Structure 1
């Protein structure tokens, strides 16, 4: 069954920047860092305990709830996780049958304008105690902090509205993310037509995440991400997506630029001061598809993608190559419910990157990874989640590049307390099981120290 989402949690990542390489340090340095981290834990737990005490709450409801005079609980089992009605709402082009009645009454049945500016805000703030370190793969210079005030972690402006019988638009702009103040980035931004030429085929045109056909990252309950999606490069891109239900099967078929959502190029040719830009650096495109269905109580799916990506060049593979290399991804996914309050999901991806490293362009590199999670929502105040991430660098291991950092083996345990439907406090503990390694060449790459963390904070949408 195709999963269509109501996006809430964006994130943007570049593969080269994403692969975290912690510092090796000496044994004494690691011991001091560990002691500093665990000395901070009691204070973090105290702050977390204070955070979940009853407090005065402000009344705030997201845009869809305002438009249709519904509580958030109509679509969310625990914000931002969708319930069955929320999935149907999203699949119905994010509208209810009375959508026209919520538009401004202008005595023109050929004009559907929202009766107010359709805007919503999302904000997140956290405090984290961590062992992970930032390290320069070339020099080995490192930075670390046992405690980290991540506030604001995310500020986002969202907007969506139905514009005609079949057309809806959606976008969000990130006004600040992960300390990147002073910048604005648009991630999800698309128009969707629900029924092209009366064929029953839906079409989405714009920016979206390829992985949304499987498990949308924006509606996950844990703070920790579905790491393999970022590593495999199946997140945000520009393109077109077609979808249709045929019998018991939901089918997605899409085509994207394959070079993300930030690059563009001036059109200059032989002219001067051309007014336009290209959003793609070459004619190659990424083709992807997902087919999903239900087998008894279990939803299962198959995903495939093929296209081009820039290879890796320079010291430790940190630079983008001038070569386009072939890339293929195959995935399997499954999900289901245990009773009324427990939901499970799992995903695995196999990746082929042909000739990816400039250091050995004749070699093909294969690696794989996935995740498994469970959400337990016992009542309208609490939600508990467990998320296990596992990936192996495969042929990219021992290449003395940052792509050795694909290796991951971690478990994240999350508790969310809902002050209101749209305001929650989060406590999350991440345990890193990955064995530490030593540099195998001239660069500081690999999993050189543990990356355990404990986090608490707030997440709200209004």
Structure 2
């Protein structure tokens, strides 16, 4: 291995030398607009702390003050919300990726993921209690992905504690926000998609109704297409016209929040047999349910998720050959601030496990991450993940990532 990786040290020294020689001066859009530090909402970025959650829930505006006069342009029309400047921010991620046993020969590989992700983001308050958020994935893995989170948000409808989001968003956001995690390693249970099923808890289009009550109860109901972010077919974003539903309830108990959720989805599409060339219409129904827990211990936050899934026909067989299969997943995460207030050094431990009756779907991972903030909006990280893939081809896999993330 030493022969393959001799160039790691000089490469890292060069990267850090360039970055430390050019201190970050700009801060992202919300901080610029309201003239406060990123640490007001993040700990560290992009992870939100309590005030950041409140800021987002208030249509991306402070709830404890009026919008500053500089926010809008006054043209004599008190019904016009015209931004003085369109709020824009950029985020970029790049990595050096080292994997062992990552291919058929078992030799592993090294990869420059430079860059891996570049996002263009915008958001703000269009009017009292009406906000928007959008980000465009300019590149991910070398491809232009396009719009991901894109929605308009209505708060406190008719003076009630009910909020409405309309657009495209992650169904799992009411559980844990994948896009705000500190690790490169993903939350695997949220991405369970056994067999030929196209249903999971990631991005989808639809609406989300939520309510936050004074006694600590939170309730949310989402209705979505169930087609993820696939392109329109015959001008329809939902090719099978079924709508998928998810209900979640959670209650706060001091530093803990305990939740339970249920999801029902249905899908139908044409399946072509590669061997015979024959086509048939496959229909699947998916049921998901589970529980989630968040425990906030000031410097340390613990998150846990259990998900059970049952698919009536995940292999999308013909109507007379349904084959029900079960899957389940577990995620446990600990995030702690090791040094600094505001924090400079953070550690993350993440455990993921997915087991399924669908062949080849089982996997589990153990991840450790150290993140250090060079600046409030510029950080480096080192991450190690051990994969245990229950498959004949690859039994174990080791992955080391050295990463850099910046936002302006």
- The two structures have a TM-score, normalised by structure 1, of 0.78
Q: 1:110 to 1:281 in 2, by over 3 A?
A: same
Q: 1:60 to 1:144 in 2, by over 3 A?
A: farther
Q: 1:264 to 1:50 in 2, by over 3 A?
A: same
Cα displacement (A) at 1:41: 5.0
Contact 1:244 1:251 in 2 (8 A): yes
Match of residue 244 from structure 1: 211
1:206 aligns with 2:164: no
CA distance in 1, matches of 2:220, 2:259: 11
1:334 aligns with 2:334: no
1:175 aligns with 2:135: no
Larger RCO (CA within 8 A; separation ≥ 6): 1
Cα displacement (A) at 1:200: 2.8
Aligned residue-pair number: 388
Q: 1:342 to 1:283 in 2, by over 3 A?
A: same
Match of residue 458 from structure 1: 404
From 99, 109, 113, the counterpart of 2:82? 113
1:78 aligns with 2:35: no
CA distance in 2, matches of 1:359, 1:279: 24
Matched position secondary structure for 1:81: coil
Q: How does 1:4-15 map to 2 (within 5 A)?
A: none
1:390 aligns with 2:350: no
CA deviations over 1:6-26 (Å, ceiling 9, x no partner):
xxxxxxxxxxxxxxxxxxxxx
Contact 1:224 1:412 in 2 (8 A): yes
Match of residue 17 from structure 1: none
Contact 1:369 1:392 in 2 (8 A): yes
1:278 aligns with 2:239: no
Match of residue 190 from structure 1: 151
Q: 1:345 to 1:244 in 2, by over 3 A?
A: same
Contact 1:44 1:456 in 2 (8 A): no
Match of residue 369 from structure 1: 329
CA deviations over 1:208-263 (Å, ceiling 9, x no partner):
00000000011111111101111241000000110112332100001000111122
Contact 1:44 1:129 in 2 (8 A): no
Q: How does 1:277-296 map to 2 (within 5 A)?
A: 277-296=235-254
Matched position secondary structure for 1:73: helix
Contact 1:290 1:304 in 2 (8 A): yes
Cα displacement (A) at 1:449: 4.1
Q: 1:283 to 1:434 in 2, by over 3 A?
A: closer
Name the one with the larger helix percent. Answer: 1
From 302, 311, 315, the counterpart of 1:357? 315
CA deviations over 1:283-328 (Å, ceiling 9, x no partner):
2100001111113421111111101135777569xxx974221011
1:429 aligns with 2:384: yes
Cα displacement (A) at 1:432: 2.1
Match of residue 72 from structure 2: 103
Match of residue 14 from structure 1: none
CA distance in 2, matches of 1:68, 1:358: 51
Q: How does 1:34-45 map to 2 (within 5 A)?
A: 35=1, 39-40=3-4, 43-44=7-8
Cα displacement (A) at 1:434: 4.2
CA distance in 1, matches of 2:122, 2:365: 35
CA distance in 1, matches of 2:10, 2:306: 37
Match of residue 346 from structure 1: 304
Name the one with the larger strand percent. Answer: 2
Matched position secondary structure for 2:120: strand
CA distance in 2, matches of 1:189, 1:143: 41
CA distance in 2, matches of 1:64, 1:111: 20
- The two structures have a TM-score, normalised by structure 2, of 0.88
Contact 1:48 1:427 in 2 (8 A): no
Q: 1:165 to 1:359 in 2, by over 3 A?
A: closer
Matched position secondary structure for 2:311: strand
Cα displacement (A) at 1:48: 4.6
- Return 5+ residue gaps in structure 1 as ranges: 1-34, 136-141, 267-276, 398-403, 439-446
Contact 2:317 2:323 in 1 (8 A): no
From 224, 227, 234, the counterpart of 2:188? 227
